[in-house]
Structure 1
């Protein structure tokens, strides 16, 4: 027995003697100053450390072998370094980190359908990164967009839609990885249904994108880019609980082995909702909601020049609220319980082949199915009304990029799509339309620092025939610090199936709405913008944009007549509105000092209905947004303080007020928010968020939510070795 104990002790001492300690110092590559709070982790293990105030770090008890060291500090380039520990003792690794340029080194694809560095793209493109989303605690796309310049997130019967430069959500195209998002049950896509759990970044292109993306892109394009597998194995999760019984857990798993990669993410969102005015019988606020999102992406690259992706997505949503209706003939208010169910199913494949260093070919297939059900019950639990709508689309696209020379790149492609709608509220209950297109874009650099990007798209629509949409983009960069971009483009939007064939007979409430039928014409737009941009590398960025959008043939439902049955009116979709939105945007991002980033944006907007010479409703003339992000490396903690100011806006025009003369304006609105976060240990981060600090609410005008509190936890459960394409660290 003693022999075994002695042998165990000797082996134990031998094991200890074979251990290694990894020490080092992290410094700023430019100044040489030590960097505290840098996260140093060893891929595939539980080992890690944070650098001390003098920049030093120590990781103890490492056995001999090869390791991948990952280093990360906000505001600096991420990187990794492979090391080999062979002899027992102490190993030293000193690293100098370089500051990351302010957003201009990111790769974007939406504006030209070809990869460009953000600083080089001819079309002004704006990016919301994963770090931006985490700084404000955003969990869904609407929350990520809400603090962005030139974008207003509206809360209406359609859900949460994005208005860009005064152009409403039904005329803004929403994409996920370049594929259309469907589900415009009441006019626009509800961005609150789209989880950020698998999102890498959001790209925003303002102004018409019809040359490259066709119908619905009159106001702009919002492309939600999902993550691709880059780690050999990682699992991240978060969970939060807050006011109104909000409960939001989510996760993302990522794995990659040789030629095959996988991402799998999921999110559950639950809220009891809130009622801001309990003196009324109906809900004045947010519905009680339960929502689930599941997404996966499988990538396969049999060789370096051939890439394949398969993406699957599912969303389920259930909402509940209380409705009340005043019935004029009986002089009585009726109260109902309303329920809504939504499901979205998506599948997409992408195949990219790099035929040569000059030629790239890509083919994609996409299918999406969305069903929406709404039911209304009396307090006796008897169904009073209901509707069932099914929306579906299939898309196939082909694109080729060819560099004829260093100065000339040709992009050409074709799309063919089939969309359909099945509903109890359209004539014939089922309708289907097909459309296809050809597009051509040329990127030409006639001389250094000047780029010309003309494009044209021919689209053939089953109902409306042929449409031509040209565009011209110019970019001039006389120096590394200054860039000027100009855009002129034409957009269009084909009437939706609902606008064509809708029939909603709500005689109980005294009104009926008809579709416009074959007499409706496509909406059209002419869009212009001029942007000047000054950047100071990592230290700052200033951008000023003048824009103008001329819109014609806009479709809206119009009052036709009153009848005894429809005492509130008979309405019909018609081309009745000609409008213009114009103004300027100013955006500044400044790195005040190490650990403090400040951004500010302002939009001045003039939005007019040129048909009846009135101001467009729900468009504030002045909007300002700001964000302050502080990070203290020595505390491993940070703070984001951000807010929005909306000027007063026309809420109801004189034609819709009871006296048909006066106007109703919504008051000014200021919202302030705060998010605190602190990293404990190497893979755990806690956070506390307060939204609407001043509790500025007004149920009449949709100014909500009220002040809310949220606590949460983020876990990086394990983080495996990189794919072999890691960034080198300056040393």
Structure 2
């Protein structure tokens, strides 16, 4: 059974219920117990996992702490269907690709706010500066899902939820020191009384880092301080106000100069700064005994980036991106067997890089029907229409079904469409083309999950296929962006979770992803760049009765190519990490880990360095 899924991703999939209220449902062995509907990423409203026909992986705060995760992308890299590349050490440009799609085709949400960068050429969210200290929960949906979420959800959606307050008072904190003179500290305080709840978290990371250039000797460091906050006020039963905020100030040293005569990545004193501010102000009203839930919100994403060739020099490049979004969503449970979800949105975005200032807007409406014709079967279908100020209108469809049998077998199938609007840079920059149309994708997947031995064993297999058309790429013939690319990706994802005894947890996944270039030309049929066909990972943790926990994760990433012509090979690699934590009472614990324990030499991007063996240790405290 371990051979089926030699991997390490946490996931939450609830057992099919005996009764509709699901009060006795147990989560999969690697997740905290949850009896509430909490999968939001699929339909953009809370659902039980047995109602979701799409492939979703859930990572909880417990898994983040068990794995001692600092940079979130390190944890995402061990989940099924996900590959991660980074241009050097912590803080450098990091792309998360889902099922072989582009990194720019991954939609990222933090606390209900779209955080993809409107000032970057492809509109990607850079995971390089996203730390895990304030995060309580991550949902990774694999496959197109533009009906509820709109543009960029071609590869999938990463939905991130930061610390959420509850009644009473809670506090947590940690401090860690380790390799490369790295210091990390994080603290959070949350609580509530009566109608008011609030949660605040602050963090700091400093490291001397490694050389971003693989052949370099100069260390490229990283520094970030940031904070998140949530405040909720219930004005009346079911009626309230929600405020959320996220801020991060980062400084990253990097090597990207290409000096003569070799024109390769080399040591450089260059560095960049990034200031990211995301905000949410909303109100909700739950009417008719909570059968009709309404939400209105205004969100903002503001990103400022500056590049410097060396300290004490003028800015060599800057970009400013800003998105403002107004949205309404209604969730109406018409009868127990029928739920209607719909909404309307308007988004304005703009960017400025010193040479180009541009702005655009998009107005959208969507609707979904969630139907339970019988207790075991959930069918979801939806449609969305987007009207873009520049390229015009686009309509998207999607549907999925989940059949959860009382035998512990769950069958899933989905058809999804995704689109990605041309970015402001692709439309209006010196290299832009205003006649661009959206990138589009059509995908389907089918899967089966089986639970055995009273949920001590859970195994699942999913097959997927996606075709992407009108993909925007840089045309070397015209030196402009054009709709010239087509791609195809298909593969299989296998997941396994075991809990043979209460103290031992073993999780695993294996992914085979065949991502091909289908564009007319010399690269037709070749592998897409930086898409390894096979990834494999296993994670195991054991907790002794006296409070000691030990664990480890081993991951394998197969060979890939660094360029579209498949002439530059990136060799596959195996990474192993080991960890331990000792509880001292109920509130304090000390922990330590060794990353890349066997000092594997590898690259995820050609000519860029990666971390060798590194050890870290810290203290964690919780008060409640």
Secondary structure in 2 aligned to 1:615?
Answer: coil
- TM-score normalised by structure 2 residue count: 0.89
Task: Quote how far apart the aligned CAs of 1:521 are.
Answer: 2.0
Q: 1:592 to 1:576 in 2, by over 3 A?
A: same
Separation in structure 1 between the aligned mates of residue 220 and residue 268 of structure 2, nearest angstrom: 14
Task: Quote how far apart the aligned CAs of 1:212 are.
Answer: 0.7
Q: Report whether the alignment pairs 1:247 with 2:155.
A: no
Identify the residue that residue 513 of structure 2 maps to in structure 1: 605
Gaps spanning 5+ residues in structure 2: where?
1-11, 13-23
Identify the residue that residue 454 of structure 1 maps to in structure 2: 381
Separation in structure 2 between the aligned mates of residue 368 and residue 261 of structure 1, nearest angstrom: 24
Separation in structure 1 between the aligned mates of residue 457 and residue 607 of structure 2, nearest angstrom: 37
Contact kept, 8 Å, 2:52 with 2:400, in 1: the verdict is no
Secondary structure in 2 aligned to 1:212?
Answer: helix
Equivalent residues in 2 for 1:58-97 (5 A)?
none
Identify the residue that residue 470 of structure 2 maps to in structure 1: 553
Once the two structures are superposed, residues 90-126 of structure 1 have per-residue CA deviations (whole angstroms, 9 ceiling, x without a partner) of xxxxxxx998653474622121122112233343322
Equivalent residues in 2 for 1:678-717 (5 A)?
678-698=582-602, 700=606, 702=608, 704-716=610-622
Q: Report whether the alignment pairs 1:374 with 2:307.
A: yes
Separation in structure 2 between the aligned mates of residue 452 and residue 166 of structure 1, nearest angstrom: 27
Task: Quote how far apart the aligned CAs of 1:197 are.
Answer: 2.6
Contact kept, 8 Å, 1:481 with 1:534, in 2: the verdict is yes
Identify the residue that residue 15 of structure 2 maps to in structure 1: none
Q: 1:305 to 1:449 in 2, by over 3 A?
A: same
Q: Report whether the alignment pairs 1:234 with 2:162.
A: no
Separation in structure 1 between the aligned mates of residue 293 and residue 378 of structure 2, nearest angstrom: 21
Contact kept, 8 Å, 1:105 with 1:119, in 2: the verdict is no
Q: 1:333 to 1:230 in 2, by over 3 A?
A: closer
Identify the residue that residue 511 of structure 1 maps to in structure 2: none
Separation in structure 1 between the aligned mates of residue 266 and residue 597 of structure 2, nearest angstrom: 36
Task: Quote how far apart the aligned CAs of 1:279 are.
Answer: 5.4
Contact kept, 8 Å, 1:327 with 1:334, in 2: the verdict is no
Identify the residue that residue 646 of structure 1 maps to in structure 2: 557
Identify the residue that residue 567 of structure 1 maps to in structure 2: none
Identify the residue that residue 91 of structure 1 maps to in structure 2: none
Q: Report whether the alignment pairs 1:137 with 2:80.
A: no
Separation in structure 2 between the aligned mates of residue 392 and residue 363 of structure 1, nearest angstrom: 20
Task: Quote how far apart the aligned CAs of 1:332 are.
Answer: 12
Range that drifts further, 694-703 or 548-557: 694-703
Identify the residue that residue 292 of structure 2 maps to in structure 1: 359
Contact kept, 8 Å, 2:169 with 2:190, in 1: the verdict is yes
Q: Report whether the alignment pairs 1:676 with 2:580.
A: yes
RMSD of equivalent CA atoms: 2.6
Q: 1:578 to 1:230 in 2, by over 3 A?
A: same
Q: 1:300 to 1:163 in 2, by over 3 A?
A: same
Once the two structures are superposed, residues 477-522 of structure 1 have per-residue CA deviations (whole angstroms, 9 ceiling, x without a partner) of 233401111111211111101122334xxxxxxxxxx23x213221
Identify the residue that residue 154 of structure 1 maps to in structure 2: 85
Secondary structure in 2 aligned to 1:393?
Answer: strand
Task: Quote how far apart the aligned CAs of 1:186 are.
Answer: 5.5
Residue from 437, 447, 454 that aligns with 1:531? 447
Q: 1:460 to 1:324 in 2, by over 3 A?
A: closer
Identify the residue that residue 440 of structure 1 maps to in structure 2: 367
Separation in structure 2 between the aligned mates of residue 370 and residue 154 of structure 1, nearest angstrom: 22
Q: 1:122 to 1:702 in 2, by over 3 A?
A: same
Equivalent residues in 2 for 1:132-531 (5 A)?
132-156=63-87, 159-183=93-117, 185=120, 187=122, 188-275=124-211, 280=216, 287-327=220-260, 336-357=268-289, 358-377=291-310, 386-425=316-355, 429-503=356-430, 514-515=431-432, 517-531=433-447
Secondary structure in 2 aligned to 1:308?
Answer: strand
Between the two structures, name the one with larger relative contact order (CA 8 Å, sep ≥ 6): 2
Separation in structure 2 between the aligned mates of residue 198 and residue 277 of structure 1, nearest angstrom: 30
Contact kept, 8 Å, 2:540 with 2:551, in 1: the verdict is yes
Separation in structure 1 between the aligned mates of residue 296 and residue 203 of structure 2, nearest angstrom: 30
Contact kept, 8 Å, 2:504 with 2:541, in 1: the verdict is yes
Equivalent residues in 2 for 1:569-608 (5 A)?
571-608=479-516
Range that drifts further, 367-376 or 317-326: 317-326
Q: 1:573 to 1:401 in 2, by over 3 A?
A: same
Q: 1:262 to 1:579 in 2, by over 3 A?
A: same
Contact kept, 8 Å, 1:327 with 1:333, in 2: the verdict is no
Contact kept, 8 Å, 1:105 with 1:118, in 2: the verdict is no
Secondary structure in 2 aligned to 1:519?
Answer: coil
Task: Quote how far apart the aligned CAs of 1:628 are.
Answer: 0.4
Task: Quote how far apart the aligned CAs of 1:220 are.
Answer: 0.7
Structure (1 or 2) with the greater strand fraction: 1
Q: 1:115 to 1:654 in 2, by over 3 A?
A: closer
Secondary structure in 1 aligned to 2:50?
Answer: coil
Q: 1:98 to 1:365 in 2, by over 3 A?
A: closer
Gaps spanning 5+ residues in structure 1: where?
1-74, 76-96, 504-513, 562-570, 656-662, 720-731
Separation in structure 1 between the aligned mates of residue 592 and residue 257 of structure 2, nearest angstrom: 37
Task: Quote how far apart the aligned CAs of 1:592 are.
Answer: 2.1
Task: Quote how far apart the aligned CAs of 1:651 are.
Answer: 2.4
Larger Rg: 1 or 2?
A: 1
Task: Quote how far apart the aligned CAs of 1:703 are.
Answer: 6.3
Once the two structures are superposed, residues 526-578 of structure 1 have per-residue CA deviations (whole angstroms, 9 ceiling, x without a partner) of 011111111235412111100011011111223237xxxxxxxxx43222211
Identify the residue that residue 543 of structure 2 maps to in structure 1: 631
Contact kept, 8 Å, 1:182 with 1:370, in 2: the verdict is no
Contact kept, 8 Å, 2:113 with 2:278, in 1: the verdict is no
